[in-house]
Amino acid sequence: MAEVKISAEVRSEFGKGAARRTRRASKVPAVIYGHGADPVHVTLPGHDLMMALKTANALISLDIEGRKELVIPKAVQRNALKGDIEHVDLLAVKRGEKVTVEVAVHTEGDLAPGANLLENVLNTLTVEAEATHIPESVTVSVAGLDAGDSILAKNVPLPSGTTLVTDEDAVVIQVLAAQAEEPAAEEAEAAEGAEG
């Protein structure tokens, strides 16, 4: 995963008023946590941060007034109406350090012939990976699966160096049989017969 470089400024003003002024300047207030250090309050350029967060579990290299810090997003607060980023919590990481993150589960392939429904029971898996090698997502093949089949977390292929944290027997994907609907004409005939 490529690092995204963003410049940050240390924040000295706090509270709602200061946060509003920061957002009006197209910047986002953020807090960096981790490694037992005191939280560091910073301001990030809004557009750069938005572009970085388009990638799940983005690895961000912050330049905090000349000091370098490697971080990953932990919590992102967005405006409920506009979707703008209002605040972000960042976790400081080191190269080679293992971190626990959520990765999206994607499916590929076609189910067995027939009207079956695919249900994603879990849309993400919790995994542990090296901070600089976090997978963006994992892909599961559903080719040939039939009604009643399921895929457990332990059956999801993970990239090397990534270990599963989610319960290995948790159902990730299951295939359901589609409910057969009676044709409308048969229902109408049954209703007429009942009236007569």
pLDDT one digit per residue (tens) for the chain, 196 residues: 567 888 888 877 777 777 777 777 888 888 888 877 788 888 888 888 888 888 778 888 888 888 888 888 888 888 788 778 888 888 888 888 888 889 999 999 888 787 688 889 999 999 998 888 888 889 999 888 888 889 999 999 998 889 999 999 999 999 988 776 555 555 555 555 555 5
What CA–CA distance (Å, rounded) separates 29 from 76? Answer: 11
pTM recorded for the entire structure: 0.70
What CA–CA distance (Å, rounded) separates 50 from 45? Answer: 9
Letter for the amino acid at 175? V
List all residues 6 or more positions away from 43 whose beta carbon is below 8 Å from its beta carbon. 8, 9, 10, 11, 22, 27, 28, 29, 30
* Strand pairing class (59-64; 3-10): parallel
List all residues 6 or more positions away from 170 whose beta carbon is below 8 Å from its beta carbon. 121, 122, 152, 153
Residue 161, token pair as written in the block: 């160096």
Q: ∠12-18-20 over CA atoms, to 5°? A: 145
